């Protein structure tokens, strides 16, 4: 019975050990022999962004006038300027910005990358809102300038003798002449000239310039 429990505990302990073959990805750092410092991912591409986690860093310092210095949240590893050869570091990268520089030439021999989820893009801006009115009486009103893009247009049609008609690049919207009430349109305005008018009285008209 005791032997059986011992085997069970051994098996349970083994299950807690990370699976074999889960070696951390290896980043390749290089400095020199020229005035060049690089850090590449396992595919050989320059590192610009990584997921948080544990990485192996294999550094080849090929010059006695340069060094390779990796620093960022929780990490500060460097070769010496005078020394040459290879170094292997195991680093845990967390959210933030990391830099790799040659401390002898930090303004010209440098690079950086970010770790973690990139900040999400801002939500799309609310559409531009424009208001128009036709009536009461022989009157029409609408802005004369606007910005290209998605636009919510609210029209108050206060007369049964005129309508509000907006026409221009990509837009042809109108209320009914007999209609009285509020109409709401969401349109995409493009740069150019739009005309707003009543189809019942040609004198009731104006121009909207979109830029």
Chain residues in the site for Cu ion (CB under 5 A): 66, 102, 104-105, 109
Residue number, 66 or 165, with CB nearest to Cu ion: 66
In the complex, minimum distance from the CB of residue 29 to Cu ion, in angstroms, rounded to a whole number: 13
Contacts of 69 (CB under 8 A, 6+ apart): 77, 78, 79, 100, 101, 102, 103
Residue with tokens 């009914």, as numbered in its chain: 176
In the complex, minimum distance from the CB of residue 186 to Cu ion, in angstroms, rounded to a whole number: 57
Residue number, 105 or 133, with CB nearest to Cu ion: 105
Residue number, 111 or 149, with CB nearest to Cu ion: 111
In the complex, minimum distance from the CB of residue 208 to Cu ion, in angstroms, rounded to a whole number: 60
What is the C-alpha to C-alpha distance for residues 89 and 78, in angstroms, rounded to an integer? 10
Residue with tokens 């000239």, as numbered in its chain: 193
Residue number, 105 or 173, with CB nearest to Cu ion: 105
Residue number, 51 or 64, with CB nearest to Cu ion: 64
Residue number, 104 or 183, with CB nearest to Cu ion: 104
């Amino acid at each position: 019975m005791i032997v059986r429990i011992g085997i069970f505990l051994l098996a349970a302990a083994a299950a807690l050990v990370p699976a074999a073959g889960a070696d951390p990805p290896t980043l390749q750092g290089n400095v020199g022999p020229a005035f060049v410092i690089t850090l590449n991912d396992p595919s050989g591409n320059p590192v610009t962004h990584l997921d948080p986690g544990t990485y192996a860093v294999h550094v080849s310092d090929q010059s006695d006038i340069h060094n390779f210095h990796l620093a960022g949240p929780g990490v500060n590893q460097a070769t010496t300027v005078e020394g040459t050869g290879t170094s292997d570091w195991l680093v845990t990268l967390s959210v933030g910005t990391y830099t790799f520089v040659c401390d002898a030439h930090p303004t010209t021999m440098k690079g950086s990358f970010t770790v973690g989820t990139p900040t999400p893009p801002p939500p799309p801006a609310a559409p531009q809102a424009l208001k128009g009115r036709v009536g009461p009486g022989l009157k029409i009103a609408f802005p004369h300038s606007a910005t290209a893009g998605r636009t919510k247009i609210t029209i108050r049609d206060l007369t049964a003798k005129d309508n509000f008609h907006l026409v221009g690049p990509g837009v042809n919207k109108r209320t009914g002449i007999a209609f009285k009430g509020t109409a709401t349109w969401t349109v995409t305005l493009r740069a150019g000239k739009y005309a707003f008018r009543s189809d019942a009285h040609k004198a009731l008209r104006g121009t909207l310039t979109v830029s």
